[in-house]
Structure 1
Amino acid sequence: MQSKIIGTTLPVLEIALDAGDAVVGVPDQLSWMSGDITMTTSMGGAGGGGVWGLVSRAVSGGGLFTTRFEAGRGSGLVGFAARLPGAIMEIEVTPDRTMLAHRHGFVCGTPGIEIATAAQTALGGLFGGTGFLLQRIGGSGTAWIELGGEIVTYGLEAGQSLLVHPGHVGMFEQTVGFEITTIKGIRNALFGGDGLFLARLTGPGKVWLQTLTTEGLAHAVAPYLPAKRG
């Protein structure tokens, strides 16, 4: 199996699969494929043998189904294009290195990667009524994660904290502590009160922040969309 990420602003992940190789992802993430590729879609997990963890509807954003893309006797190619301007990152996951990512971050992974809900916080005003969710990316293997806009990384020392708007939290290592806190003194128009919700990330561990959020993009283009009727 060989992978390459093509492009910059709207990148695409291409994975060349040798005979017997496979990756698993959500069905609507596929952009194109060629060669001897078999697609198997199932509810909850894919591939059998317990190699894929449960992907909940709320976390994946693509329903309860996952699709396994597997090369048969010959080789094949699958492509996964980014949904927003940003970056696709290749991450090696081990039982000692679990990652947490934003709710739409997971693109695909090798069998052995497990995806589950990591955290849910009731911040519906910021996130369209769905609350703030994180994906836990565990197990063992390679995972590809999509982050929005430019990516800024920090290596936090033990006890060192970083306050971040929740939507800009792209991904962080499991060793990093996470909590939602309120900063007083700033008028929050969304909630009609005095206080700003921020995520507190506390080291040790590595943090990846994203400059573009789905909510921010939706807010920016909303004035130019046709008004709803009826």
Structure 2
Amino acid sequence: MRSKIIGTTLPVLEIQLDAGDRIVGVPDQLSWMSGDVTLTTSTAGGGAGGLFGLVSRAVSGGGLFMTEFHAERGPGNVAFAAKLPGSFVPVEIAPGGGYIVHRHGFVCGSPGIEVTTAFQQTLGGAVFGGEGFMLQKLAGQASAFVELSGELVTYELQPGQSLLVHPGHVGMFEESVAFELTTMRGIRNALFGGDGLFLVRLSGPGKVWLQSLTAPSLAHALAPYLPGKQG
């Protein structure tokens, strides 16, 4: 199995499968494919691990179903186009060396990937389309790709070093990084409602990937140019 990233602003991730290769991904991520590739969509895969694991994966944004792409008798290609301007980041996952990523960050991975919920918190109806703040955990033994939006800024946090981040800018971090949701009082923020601003405290050791583009900020910027509701 080989991969290449095509383009820059709105990149495409292309996975080249040899006969016998398999990858799993979220069903609605597929953009196009070619060659001898078959699709099987089921609740299995992605580390479902029974009812609890299935529910945890669904809540995290991974969905109830996973699609397996299998090159049976010959080679084939599978392509995933970015949903927003940004990047595809490859990661190697091993026991004790997983990653925490933003909701909907997981694109695809090799068999052995486990996608579950790492954190879920309601921050108000206007935040993230009313979905609240959620994080996925990628674990197991696998190679995977994560989609991050906008430009990427990375930090290597040392033990005891911390970083306060707006929830929408949290892209991905190593599971060795501790995190907690905190509130900065005295800053009135209409988006979050009430008198306070929610921030995520990330504490080392470990690597952190921050994304410059957030879906709520993009929606807010486009709102004045969209037609109003009729009736």
Pair 76,176 (structure 1): closer, same or farther in 2 beyond 3 Å: same
Pair 94,67 (structure 1): closer, same or farther in 2 beyond 3 Å: same
| CA RMSD after TM alignment | 1.8
- Measured in 2, the distance between the counterparts of 1:87 and 1:10 equals 8
**Within-5 A mapping of 1:1-230:** 1-43=1-43, 45-46=44-45, 54=54, 56-60=57-61, 63-124=63-124, 125-230=126-231
SS state at 1:218 partner: helix
Query: Which one-letter code corresponds to 1:141 in the other structure?
Result: A
- Measured in 2, the distance between the counterparts of 1:128 and 1:49 equals 26
Give 1 or 2: higher helix fraction: 2
- Measured in 2, the distance between the counterparts of 1:132 and 1:154 equals 22
Superposed CA deviations along residues 197-220 of structure 1, whole A, max 9, x for unmatched, are: 111000000000000011111111
Superposed CA deviations along residues 180-209 of structure 1, whole A, max 9, x for unmatched, are: 111122122234433211110000000000
SS state at 2:83 partner: coil
Runs of 4+ with >4 A deviation:
47-50
Query: Which one-letter code corresponds to 2:115 in the other structure?
Result: I
- Measured in 1, the distance between the counterparts of 2:171 and 2:46 equals 28
- Measured in 2, the distance between the counterparts of 1:153 and 1:49 equals 30
Superposed CA deviations along residues 138-160 of structure 1, whole A, max 9, x for unmatched, are: 00110100000000000000010
Can you give the 5+ residue segments of structure 2 that lack an aligned partner in the other structure?
none
Check whether the contact 1:47–1:68 (CA below 8 A) recurs between aligned residues.
Answer: no
Pair 47,196 (structure 1): closer, same or farther in 2 beyond 3 Å: closer
- Measured in 2, the distance between the counterparts of 1:219 and 1:47 equals 33
Task: Give TM-score scaled by structure 1 length.
Answer: 0.93
SS state at 1:123 partner: coil
Task: Give TM-score scaled by structure 2 length.
Answer: 0.93
Q: Give 1:58 deviation, angstroms.
A: 3.1
Check whether the contact 2:60–2:116 (CA below 8 A) recurs between aligned residues.
Answer: yes
Check whether the contact 1:150–1:211 (CA below 8 A) recurs between aligned residues.
Answer: yes
SS state at 2:230 partner: coil
Query: Which one-letter code corresponds to 1:216 in the other structure?
Result: S
- Measured in 2, the distance between the counterparts of 1:48 and 1:40 equals 16
Check whether the contact 1:34–1:76 (CA below 8 A) recurs between aligned residues.
Answer: yes
- Measured in 1, the distance between the counterparts of 2:46 and 2:158 equals 39
SS state at 2:191 partner: coil
- Measured in 1, the distance between the counterparts of 2:64 and 2:191 equals 31
Q: Give 1:48 deviation, angstroms.
A: 9.9
Q: Is 89-98 or 117-126 further displaced after alignment?
A: 117-126
Pair 33,155 (structure 1): closer, same or farther in 2 beyond 3 Å: same
The alignment covers a number of residue pairs equal to 226
Pair 122,211 (structure 1): closer, same or farther in 2 beyond 3 Å: same
Pair 112,190 (structure 1): closer, same or farther in 2 beyond 3 Å: same
Query: Which one-letter code corresponds to 1:186 in the other structure?
Result: I
Q: Give 1:39 deviation, angstroms.
A: 0.3
Check whether the contact 2:47–2:114 (CA below 8 A) recurs between aligned residues.
Answer: no
